[in-house]
Structure 1
């Protein structure tokens, strides 16, 4: 073989060796973090030594106690935020109310009676200043009064003018006691509350009911500057959440299907709808088509979510929660804290535990790839690189 040819062979061997070294040092393309990378990214891992990238959360392996705690912990509640109330409180007269004031007298020739009639009915509309006019009484401030107190006020004012007067005050139109219902209902309405208290479910019924399934419909209640959203299904299932509404409450009904996102080595990825009121982790795994047996790591099934504070404390304990807060764990805009739950599918009991672990709306379910997958990818790249180097050596050209 000629010297130039030997020189080319030596160059090819050096090129091939350099290629392998470069491939060995490169980062193998991945499909998300490995199991140990997720675990080490928790509050006790080394991933948070750089303050600029710090996001504090805990990584918790699901067992029966944790599954029971999460499943039993109360979720967002109207009763917790606003109280249950009772009959909407004592009803009072307000601006815009239309009253019918009937005045009786004992004599046949009184101010409000004749030989034919012993009474006179006077319509009264409560004016913006809260007052209404009654003949021979003058201006009466009705706003803020109960029906009984309004009656007593008028009777006292007429005792020196009418013959043994008696008074009945009736509410003809209770315009001041209303609640607005908007959004995904069959008939957006201003619903009058009347003198009796109404529950949220009754007000929604008067607005034609929700137009979508209750397990995909949220009811938002705004009262005195505070707002809380609750799944309509929760109101149906938990009577305590079917609280009494109050005048000037605002109710907005919105259709927002419950979904979770499946990522990683699941057979199906993307946003997946519950299509049910509740969903367990086992059911969610089934909806995602299970795991890819060739690439998935059964020890790395993770649920990423923001959890309510009371649930977080129940899961990790008060001392651990305070420690996480002291280290910088912060809530989202709704006061919930980040947490990652881990399920080890290599353990037989996990399939039982997962039946009792609830998936929540907007959860992210991630199935990590097995570490051997990266090695297989690397060997595939190495094999491709070796073949290319061999072709160069054999033919003396890259193409």
Structure 2
């Protein structure tokens, strides 16, 4: 009987305080809601909602104007201003004119910048004041200046750069910078394309348009789906793309623990388990794998932030997955992971017991050797 006493003592202690890196399987069944104090039910995966409402976060509603708040007719002002760059091409259809000795009847004079005084100096026609005038007006001046040198001169003036009429794109894009507005009347999606595109998926990107003191935002996915959100840009508009990362976290006996990003509404529990590298064969209890989430609860009341949208609250929920049950593997391919979900793989009971037992297998620490000369007077 005396020989059994140490083992009984160890068993009692291990049941009371086993060393572990997280809650035991039994701890989930006694968990309570920290807000209400009520017990949180542990639901089998077979009884869990596979694709519950709210998997895709409520980002906007029909009553939310988004970027349509910034609607305009686009930038149509073609008047020339200081710093603008124009390209000039002249043509002569006559036989005895300016280009009679050349094979081509067309001459590209090059590109010219409107200087600080509002003028440009052009070959054949000299210095021309163009500030606040149109490209068509400059064409007429060039044609007039070429009379006498050309039989039937014509001119084409194209504005190739308007530094004072640009917009900027910053944030989660591949090539942030400032870009010119052209006669094509660039829209929001044009601007994002000029910046190399968004670095994140459309559902994880939010576009904010800043115009003076006005500001409006919309998910990139909404701009792609709704043409009214793809508004025209105006000079000095600022676009900022933010990243709304959707993540889940894996703890416990996984091969890879940490926070993982995913596209909302598309990641299944089976895929999430794969992201975490699967369970550790020598540690995990395959029959006690849990998903902990704040389950959204919708009510008939309307949201204060988005009038007309259903009000949402949340309550904690725990779903148990038994990987030893083959049917759970099929269910995991249907169960959608939500933003903020925690995946926890508990340790096998024998693993925690082995940790505790190892504590008592360690040899007692020996006293440190005395310092040299410590025992002498």
TM-score (norm 2): 0.51
In 2, Cα distance between equivalents of 1:301 and 1:360? 17
In 2, Cα distance between equivalents of 1:268 and 1:22? 33
Task: State the partner residue of 1:219.
Answer: 206
Task: State the partner residue of 2:321.
Answer: 344
Determine which structure has the larger strand proportion and give its number: 2
CA contact (8 A) 2:254 2:278 kept: yes
Task: State the partner residue of 2:250.
Answer: 262
Per the alignment, do residues 75 and 302 of structure 1 end up closer, same or farther by CA in structure 2, a change over 3 Å counting? same
SS of residue paired to 1:268: coil
Per the alignment, do residues 364 and 180 of structure 1 end up closer, same or farther by CA in structure 2, a change over 3 Å counting? farther
Find 1:83's aligned residue among 35, 52, 65: 65
Find 2:297's aligned residue among 308, 313, 316: 313
Task: State the partner residue of 1:133.
Answer: none
Task: State the partner residue of 1:40.
Answer: 30
Task: State the partner residue of 1:243.
Answer: 229
CA contact (8 A) 2:51 2:335 kept: yes
Task: State the partner residue of 1:252.
Answer: 240
Map 1:48-63 onto structure 2 (within 5 A). Answer: 61-63=44-46
CA contact (8 A) 1:88 1:245 kept: yes
SS of residue paired to 2:285: strand
In 1, Cα distance between equivalents of 2:12 and 2:331? 45
Per the alignment, do residues 306 and 99 of structure 1 end up closer, same or farther by CA in structure 2, a change over 3 Å counting? farther
Task: State the partner residue of 1:69.
Answer: 52
Per the alignment, do residues 340 and 206 of structure 1 end up closer, same or farther by CA in structure 2, a change over 3 Å counting? same
Cα deviation digits, residues 32-60 of structure 1 (max 9, x gap): 012332343243xxx778xxxx7998865
Per the alignment, do residues 24 and 87 of structure 1 end up closer, same or farther by CA in structure 2, a change over 3 Å counting? closer
TM-score (norm 1): 0.49
What residue ranges of structure 1 are gaps of 5+ in the alignment?
1-11, 101-120, 126-172, 322-334, 389-399
Per the alignment, do residues 256 and 89 of structure 1 end up closer, same or farther by CA in structure 2, a change over 3 Å counting? closer
Determine which structure has the larger helix proportion and give its number: 1
In 2, Cα distance between equivalents of 1:336 and 1:175? 49
Map 1:154-233 onto structure 2 (within 5 A). Answer: 180-183=168-171, 184-189=173-178, 192=181, 198=187, 200-210=188-198, 212=199, 214=201, 218-221=205-208, 224=214, 227=217, 230=219
Cα deviation digits, residues 281-338 of structure 1 (max 9, x gap): 101112222223443233432334456xxxx126xxx49x9xxxxxxxxxxxxx8746
Task: State the partner residue of 1:29.
Answer: 19
SS of residue paired to 1:298: strand
Task: State the partner residue of 1:111.
Answer: none
Task: State the partner residue of 1:328.
Answer: none
Task: State the partner residue of 2:158.
Answer: none
Task: State the partner residue of 1:279.
Answer: 267
Map 1:320-331 onto structure 2 (within 5 A). Answer: none
CA contact (8 A) 1:58 1:339 kept: no
SS of residue paired to 2:27: helix
Find 1:364's aligned residue among 329, 342, 348: 342
CA contact (8 A) 2:253 2:284 kept: yes
RMSD over aligned Cα, in angstroms?
A: 5.5
CA contact (8 A) 1:261 1:271 kept: yes
CA contact (8 A) 1:85 1:243 kept: yes
Number of aligned residues: 273
Task: State the partner residue of 2:127.
Answer: none
Q: CA deviation at 1:365?
A: 1.8
Higher relative contact order (CA 8 A, sep 6+): 1
In 2, Cα distance between equivalents of 1:176 and 1:257? 35
In 2, Cα distance between equivalents of 1:275 and 1:75? 11
